[in-house]
Homo-oligomer: A and B are copies of this chain.
């Protein structure tokens, strides 16, 4: 039974701080049921977290997972994979403290002055240079792009040229220039992926997907 606070004509439901997220996930499930949408079991938490972070139910229809993507990515995290983002916003949104329990770190090279200088000189985006720099990092690497389709395009090119194979791609850039094509070309490779078809996505979506995977792995104490 929910109590309410009344502010003039407005009513708010009293939900304990620790229960707000749980209540939100319940509401999302109820509404998906009303829409007749049943989410696949393994991907359910990720899809609901994307809806939770955007209030946009389109994500129930547009997220794409390669075969066993959820298990593959969780396994990488468990084994200490790092996550590379293409915005500092996404980096700030990922629970790095929890990720560090497994040995991983979160990297973003977008604000690196050397990256900016090289990008300017070559006439390419900072995301392009950031991906090249990230490809040199030691260990397993999960790429989470919430912003720059050129990040995905450079990963694809390096893969095609045989220079570098990303271990996993979370491909959810948002936007209007080459975003859809950049996602589609990643899905033609055999790199495991979680991708949101179409224009939508964002740093918040990239972080939500990473966190959903991280939170779903028990931490040994």
Interface residues of A (CB under 8 A from B): 5, 7-8, 10-13, 15-17, 20, 23-24, 27-28, 52-56, 87-93, 119, 123-126, 149-150, 153, 156, 160, 174-179, 181-182, 184-185, 188, 198-204, 207
Say yes or no: A24 contacts B203, CB within 8 Å. Answer: no
Q: Which residue of B lies closest to A207 (CB)?
A: B89
Known contacts A23-B176, A52-B175; A93 and B203 CB within 8 A of each other: yes
A207 to B89, CA, bound (A): 9
Q: Which residues of B contact A204 (CB under 8 A)?
A: 89, 202-204
Min CB distance A203 to B, Å, is 6
User: Could you write out 20 A-B pairs with CB less than 8 Å apart?
Assistant: A5-B153, A7-B185, A10-B185, A10-B188, A11-B181, A12-B181, A12-B182, A15-B177, A17-B119, A17-B124, A23-B177, A24-B175, A27-B176, A54-B54, A54-B202, A55-B200, A87-B92, A88-B93, A89-B90, A91-B92
